[in-house]
Amino acid sequence: MPTLRALFVAPLLLALLGLGATPLPEESFPTPAMSHLSRFVAGGGAPTAALLARRASTAPYDTFRSTGPGIRRADRFRAGSVTKTFVAAVVLQLAGEGRLRLSDPVDRLLPGLIRGNGNDGRRITLRALLDHTSGLNDYTADASARPLSAADAVRVALSHRPTGAPGHYAYANTNYVVLGLVVRRVTGHDYATEIRRRIINPLRLTGTSLPGARTTLPSPHGRGFTRDPADGTLRDVTALDPRGAGAAGELISTLDDLDRFYTALLGGEILRPAELAAMLDTTATHGVYGLGVYPQRLSCGLTVWGHNGHITGSRVRTAATRDGRHVLTYRVDTDALADAEALETALLDAEFCARAPTVRAP
């Protein structure tokens, strides 16, 4: 799994990422992953946690489970870096339409934007932005900066030397902020408009939005918490200014919508075969990251695809089989989750490596 830097990590902004079968009633068929969910609270320190698993097969299921009343299936939440998959899908659609090429240097579309301090947009391609091999510094790593626009974020990144030469994998939120500017240059519309037009509206993702400068979550929603470094107590950070995340992580969504999105994406509803193949190509990163998605190999040998999101007050992860017919999204209402990777891996192993539930005749 790639090392993903959370958006809005303190002190930055004091906080700052159908299925083909009729779904069965939620919680009809308990799955092995459900028993792991409580560990996010008991071991990870999250106030509450929830998951939604879907499988289209001879034994289809659609199962929601939560650890308490403070987190519901219909809740809107901040999805953090899951935004990157949406942005990547738009860029790949534009490539499929011939409006840009992944081999285009950034400077061809955004002349002079990336220049100075060892950074050079003439040597960085759009593909390198998509798979984090650009070498650009991650603007969220600068603890002294509080950028509230894409231009601000780029300036912060360019105040630092590159993290490595182009071609070296280094996850950086700056890459997707720049891609948001690319979308505007190519289409004449901001990335949020293009995501709504190309993905949210066609898939009817009614709980998904890009808030811009809106600091509150749409209803219904729960709360979001972060841990105060001074005394370790959880602090409510439900309301925050998402502009610093932008195209790297401002998305708001729901469990149902994220399951639906990744099912459609991997099932070929959003991208044509050539563009989907490009998205899943991890050659440049030696198997670590594709274009807006990453693979994770589980203990049983199965590889799942998706992305995680880690933003103030929220941690999210969606993973799906290559065909999109088995997908799980979980979320917790805090970014301060102890042993997060171990808990997540155990959850995914339990869901994807166990046998599907058996349907009993009524």
Within-domain flag for 361: no
Instruction: Choose the weakest-confidence range: 73-77, 232-236, 311-315.
Output: 232-236
Q: Which range marks the domain in which residue 292 is found?
A: 12-353
Question: pTM for the whole thing?
Answer: 0.91
The answer to whether residue 17 sits within a structural domain is yes
In a domain, 6, yes or no: no
Q: CA-to-CA distance for 36 and 52, rounded, in angstroms?
A: 13
Give the pLDDT band (50/70/90) at residue 165. Answer: confident
Summarize the confidence of residues 142-164 as an average pLDDT.
Answer: 92
Q: Alpha-carbon distance 78 to 253, whole Å?
A: 7
Q: Are 310 and 80 in contact (CB under 8 A)?
A: yes
Give the pair of three-digit tokens for residue 70. Answer: 């403070």
Question: Does 221 fall in a domain?
Answer: yes
Domain membership of residue 358 (yes or no) is: no
Please pick, among 35, 66, 81, 253, the residue that the annotation labels catalytic: 81
Partner residues linked to 305 by β-bridges = 295, 320
Residue 302 near residue 244, CB atoms below 8 Å = no
Q: Is residue 1 one of the residues assigned to a domain?
A: no
The tally of domains found in the chain comes to 1
Q: Yes or no: say if 182 and 110 are a contact pair by the CB < 8 Å rule.
A: yes
Task: Confirm whether 3 is domain-assigned.
Answer: no
Q: Let me know: does 64 contact 73? Beta carbons within 8 Å.
A: yes
In this structure, what is the dihedral angle of CA atoms 40, 44, 47, 49, given to the nearest 10 degrees? -20
From 4-8, 188-192, 274-278, 318-322, the region with the lowest mean pLDDT: 4-8
The answer to whether residue 266 is domain-embedded is yes
Buried b (16+ CB within 10 A) or exposed e, 200-227: beebebebbbbbeeeeebeeebbbbbbb
Distance separating alpha carbons of residues 81 and 128, to the nearest angstrom: 17
- 272-292 CB burial, b ≥16 within 10 A, e <16: eeebbebbbebebbeebbbbb
Strands 314-320 and 326-332: antiparallel
State the sign of the Cα–Cα–Cα–Cα dihedral 137, 138, 142, 145.
positive
DSSP secondary structure letter of residue 151: H
Instruction: Give the model confidence (pLDDT) of 169-208 as tens digits.
Output: 999 999 999 999 999 999 999 999 999 999 999 999 999 9
Question: What pLDDT was estimated at residue 131?
Answer: 98
Look up the CATH number of the domain holding residue 126.
3.40.710.10
Q: How far is CA 228 from the centre of its chain?
A: 25
| Peptide bond connecting 30 to the previous residue in cis, omega within 30 degrees of 0 | no
pLDDT in tens, 103-146: 999 999 999 999 999 999 999 999 999 999 999 999 999 988 88
User: Residue 81 catalytic?
Assistant: yes
